[in-house]
Structure 1
Amino acid sequence: MAAAYGGPEVLSVTTVAVAEPTSDQVRISVRAAGVNPFDYKVYSGMFGTDPENLPLRLGVEAAGVVTAVGADAVGPAGPIAVGDEVIAYSAPGAYADEIVVPASSVVPKPATLSWEQAGGLLAAGVTAVHVLEAIGLAKGETVLVHGASGGVGLVAVQLAVARGATVVATASKAKHDLLRDLGATPVAYGPGLADRVREIAPEGVDAAADLVGTDEAVDVSVELVPNPLRIATIAGYERGSRAGIKLLGGAPGADPGTEIREAARLQLTEAAAAGRLRVVVEGSYPLREAAAAHREIAAGHTTGKIVLVP
């Protein structure tokens, strides 16, 4: 948890008691917890520095085994029982050995996924679904995805391809082969990006998703997409607000997409179970090394997800 606001140095492992679940709750022994940019933004002060909120328990998603259930523990897929292998999202405080969450947050873990993959599926996955819904992506259209090799980006690319869209995906050259394997046409970001996209998509770009939050991502999207309401960002809020594009996520003034994200959970686990959705995990860290994991994702060069393993 974070005992103060600041950088990763404020993180520490603390022992706290775990409560018994109430009638509509579930206790889970965590096997893996996903690491997301939101996690370090919370204690960085980006969303405020009210000392009354300290200490902050971190994490929003986890996979594990159910160890106790309340009498009315029914999740989106049905009743939950002790011994079930599950994924929990949203799961505040997921950086832990054990967590207690509402049964409404718990869905079955696909047997085809490792614990690490399951722990990193849903936060990125529901965000990707929300983005594609917000920009109204349809079959036959061309979409520009910025930050395509990150956790959200890799899911968004696969879902967009599955919709029958043409995907132009920005990433460093080292990640282009992976994006091609997933059905996208990769393009290097940096100076001249708009011209490179025009060469790839001479008939134009219908929609764009900024998943990285750079000025370049917003500016190039606005330059190439005729309708700003078909552009969405999950990170470039200041520039995006000025540009009149859609702001998505947990920031003040952004659309949280709660209903879309909740409905997406079972769609994503079903797709993963059927082999239609690939979950890429770059690496894992022990829970006690959460600070190192945060430094890695803050650098912005990870491919897919980073997870913590208690």
Structure 2
Amino acid sequence: MKRVSFAEFGGPDVLHLIDAEEPHAGPGRIRVAVRAAGVNPVDWRIREGQFLKAHPLELPAGVGLDAAGVVDEVGEGVEGVEVGDHVFGEGLSTYAEFAVLTAWARMPEGLSFEEAAGYPSVVETALRIISQVGVRPGQTLLVSGASGGVGSAVLQIARERGIAVIGTAGAANQDYLRDLGAVATTYGEGWVERVRELGRVDAALDLAGSGVIGELVELTGDPQKVVSIADLGAPEFGVRFSDTAGSVPDALAVAADLIKRGRLHIPVEKSYTLGEAAAAHIDSQAGHTRGRRVIVV
């Protein structure tokens, strides 16, 4: 089978499309014929070797955590899913023709594989950091870098829970944030003053890693009310850096429910082939994403 792999840490040029042995579903796992794989910032951070202390990695390694596809192997002890089912979930080395998933759910009716691949990690992350930052219904959450996949999920989940959101993004994504229920403003010079003019900030999330942790602490008045998923220097400010996943099956169940009820939609901004994985990483690292990027197999 074809799989995207890297044998050394580095830039996008270390990614190569190779012939690899097919993985198989062990106990408690399923294998899918991948139809689409989500592109997440964590993918290129792993490729660069940023998370080695917390998550050691043996090279050569595959790439990708999220996938949507058709079940073609069911491991021992797995119930409630059969060969031929359409599922989305998380696993390992999902930029490939076949991948083993460790957590999954049936795809909501009407959702394409391309769309479904964009949900697993971002919804799990959004649910986790909303919980960790301790924001409650009736309070206001500031989201820095709000237009990407995680931001899109945070804004919609917060809206569903009665949490007001102020979101920062580029000028081209202001209407997108408003459509998701946020009060939108641009980042760049003077952004702190613009946020202050919009009202009190009870908690803040850093999704872009653009060097604003100090300002977020200033706006909330408490480093314990700020969580980052993108700035490795956040702990220097007393701010939590969140990189350990919670319950993915629970997150997939929440995602499926919200999608079915029309309360969650994350658009696919751009699709790539397996051979274009390096281009997908370059674009992801450049930011300014509106929704999700996915690799179609």
Measured in 1, the distance between the counterparts of 2:121 and 2:93 equals 14
- Tell me the TM-score normalized by structure 1: 0.90
What displacement does 1:46 show? 1.8
Q: Counterpart of 2:281 in 1: which secondary structure?
A: helix
**1:39-54 counterparts in 2 under 5 A?**
39-48=43-52, 53-54=58-59
Aligned residue among 169, 190, 201 for 1:205: 201
Measured in 2, the distance between the counterparts of 1:162 and 1:210 equals 20
Aligned to 2:246: 258
The answer to which of 9-18 and 51-60 deviates more is: 51-60
Measured in 2, the distance between the counterparts of 1:292 and 1:166 equals 35
Deviations 1:46-103 (A, max 9, x none): 23499982111110010000012134213xxxx11011000121x111110111234x
Aligned to 2:61: 56
Amino acid corresponding to residue 235 of structure 1 in structure 2: A
The answer to which of 48-57 and 130-139 deviates more is: 48-57
| Conserved? CA contact 2:104–2:252, under 8 Å | no
Measured in 2, the distance between the counterparts of 1:132 and 1:88 equals 21
- Tell me the TM-score normalized by structure 2: 0.94
Deviations 1:194-228 (A, max 9, x none): 11011111xx1100011011212x12211110222
Deviations 1:94-133 (A, max 9, x none): 110111234xx12111123211110010111111111100
What displacement does 1:235 show? 1.0
Measured in 2, the distance between the counterparts of 1:125 and 1:101 equals 17
Amino acid corresponding to residue 156 of structure 1 in structure 2: V
Structure 1 runs (4+) deviating above 3 angstroms are 48-52
* Cα 1:222–1:66 shift into 2, 3 Å: same
Aligned to 1:95: 95
Q: Counterpart of 2:62 in 1: which secondary structure?
A: coil
Q: How many residue pairs are counted as aligned between the two chains?
A: 292
Measured in 1, the distance between the counterparts of 2:110 and 2:183 equals 28
Query: Which segments of 5 or more consecutive residues in structure 1 lack a partner in the other structure?
Result: 250-255
Does 2:274 align with 1:287?
yes
| Conserved? CA contact 1:229–1:245, under 8 Å | yes
Aligned residue among 224, 229, 246 for 2:240: 246
**1:6-25 counterparts in 2 under 5 A?**
6-25=10-29
The answer to which of 58-67 and 44-53 deviates more is: 44-53
Amino acid corresponding to residue 213 of structure 1 in structure 2: G
| Conserved? CA contact 1:112–1:273, under 8 Å | no
Query: Which segments of 5 or more consecutive residues in structure 2 lack a partner in the other structure?
Result: none
**1:56-75 counterparts in 2 under 5 A?**
56-74=61-79
Measured in 2, the distance between the counterparts of 1:100 and 1:31 equals 13
* Cα 1:19–1:174 shift into 2, 3 Å: closer
* Percent identity of equivalent pairs: 39
Amino acid corresponding to residue 275 of structure 1 in structure 2: G
Amino acid corresponding to residue 58 of structure 1 in structure 2: V
| Conserved? CA contact 1:113–1:273, under 8 Å | no
* Cα 1:171–1:28 shift into 2, 3 Å: same
What displacement does 1:175 show? 0.6
Does 2:285 align with 1:298?
yes
* Cα 1:51–1:132 shift into 2, 3 Å: closer
| Conserved? CA contact 1:125–1:152, under 8 Å | yes
Aligned to 2:132: 134
What displacement does 1:21 show? 2.5
Q: CA RMSD in A?
A: 1.8
| Conserved? CA contact 2:206–2:228, under 8 Å | yes
What displacement does 1:19 show? 3.9
| Conserved? CA contact 1:112–1:272, under 8 Å | no
Measured in 1, the distance between the counterparts of 2:56 and 2:29 equals 29
| Conserved? CA contact 1:110–1:272, under 8 Å | yes
